[in-house]
Each structure stands twice: as structure tokens, then as C-alpha cells.
Amino acid sequence: MAVPKLELRSLGNTGLKLSSVGFGASPLGSVFGPVSESDAVASVREAFRLGINFFDTSPYYGATLSEKMLGKGLKALGVSRNEYIVSTKCGRYREGFDFSAERVTKSIDESLERLQLDYVDIFQCHDIEFGSLDQIVNETIPALQKLKEAGKIRFIGITGLPLDIFTYVLDRVPPGTVDVILSYCHYSINDSTLEDLLPYLKTKGVGVISASPLAMGLLTEFGPPEWHPASPELKSACQAAAVYCKEKGKNISKLAMQYSLSNKDISSVLVGMNSVKQVEENVAAATEVALFGKDHETLAEVEAILKPVKNQTWPSGIQRS
């Protein structure tokens, strides 16, 4: 039986078409527990086989290990470079934040070497709320434009948690300078505030990638990691929703994935993956929602449980260790 291919969605004005599910490579840096090289390579290979063409990493993930592992996985595919889309980031490193022109210019060369690539498709300033937004506008992005001219990157992006950082930067740079934003934890069952920003981003011609549809573990049966910055109230509501789904024979993570995938204005939903099994589950959730639509009944019940904590976020000043 032929594998149903994942839907491809246009990314802003870039001309790129991203798979609706993107491969988040942070777990390949053993961020959530050890991942062997063979598992990393097998995950990337299976993702590509099932139609995932978008892979996202950062030098910060696993202190450069994620980039190295992803590079090995992509090389093992043995396909031509234009068959997959790679994004990495700059400005956030194990040793701290540095959005200076000098550092980000050096950063791309280091990343390309680790990824074993000649260029990346998207180069993003990582978690810009921790830097000076004026520096991002006046120094970092102009430095990235030079890298674009040099052919080391194709498109420029910005990432972070608070949504107002995107409007701040996009209102201050020339139109078409920033091609894409990556937002996380703001388009999932418990928090859909990214939706309010979508019309604005469309007028700016900016593509949208949404990460962490499971809200960094809140919308899972086993719950979030200990360091998760959500309030106790939000954690217990999500736990109650997960228990409710399980009692009905449903999986909250699958439901959450399908919720995030159902908005076509979001080009790709990025999910962290580190095993063939995880890849298969995420792709299955996507192909199922494409064929049958969302599980409206269970979704409505889960939304009712989460209503008291809807759109409750947390300060991004809480750093992950």
C-alpha cells in the first residue's frame, strides 16, 4: 500500500513548501534523554520516507549535538539537497545569548560545518526576547541579509515565546526582510493566541511555523517535565484533560496534534522527535486528520475542561536548564 504523503503548505512569500508536520530536532541533542546516533539517523530517514521535508535545529540544542546528529541523518538520506528544507538558529548558545553581527556571522559557518551543508534554507534569531529587540532590528537582521547575499542562507526568521516581539520587529524592518516567524506554545488546545496574529503576519507576507503543539509536554498522558514553567492550575487542568481522553480510549497528544494541524495558515507544525515510533505516530495523526477531520466531540469536551485556563501563558524568563 502506498504511503499517503503529508500535505505541503506554502511558507509566506518564500516559495518554499513545507510538510504540514515538521521534524523538531532538539531531542536529537539528547535534551530529553540519551539518543543514539543510529536512532537519530533512523528517525530522520523514516521522517523523510513518510513525507516530512522540513527539519529544524539550533546550536543551542544539546550544545551543538542536535545539529551534528541531524547532519548525519540528512547525509544518510543520500538524496539531492533541494529535496529537504533545513532551518537552524543563531544568537542562543550553551554559553548564553549573543546577537551581535560578528557572532551570528561566525555562527552560520559553524552550523553549516556541523550540518554538513553548503547552505540552510532558513536562519532564525533564536528566542529574541532575551536580547535587545533594537539590536535584532538594527544589527542582527542586517548581518543576516549579508549572509543571504553570500548564499549561506536563503531566508531569515525570528523565534520566541511572547507574541509581541514579532510585531515589534516586523514593524521596524523593511517589508520582506524577515521571511518567517517561529512561535511556540501559542497554537495548541490550551492556548491559541497565535491565531490573533495570523492576519497581521499575512499582510506582512511572513510565513508561520508553530512549534510545541503538545505545549512542552502539558498535553501528554505522562505530563510535563519538572522544569515546566506553567502554573499548577494549568498543569492540573491539562492532566485532567489527559485522563479524560484516556478514559474515552483517546490520546490527548494525538488530539492536540490534530488541533494544531487544522489551521492551514500555519505552514508547519514542528514536533520534537527522536525515534521511528514517534515519527510514525506524528505522521499518522496528520494523515488521519487530513482524511477524516478533527475529532470534534472529544475536542469540545477537552476544550470545556481547559476553559478556565485557556490562553494562560508563562514568562519566558524562566530558562530551561
Catalytic residue positions? 61
Buried b (16+ CB within 10 A) or exposed e, 36-55: eeebbbbbbbbbbebbbbbb
With 0-12 CB in 10 A as exposed, 13-18 as middle and 19+ as buried, what is 89?
buried
What's the alpha-carbon Rg for the chain, to the nearest Å?
Answer: 19
Task: Give the burial class of 275: count Cβ atoms within 10 A of its Cβ; 0-12 exposed, 13-18 middle, 19 or more buried.
Answer: middle
d(CA 156, CA 128): 13
The residue type of 198 is L
The sign of the torsion formed by the CA atoms of 31, 34, 37, 42 equals negative
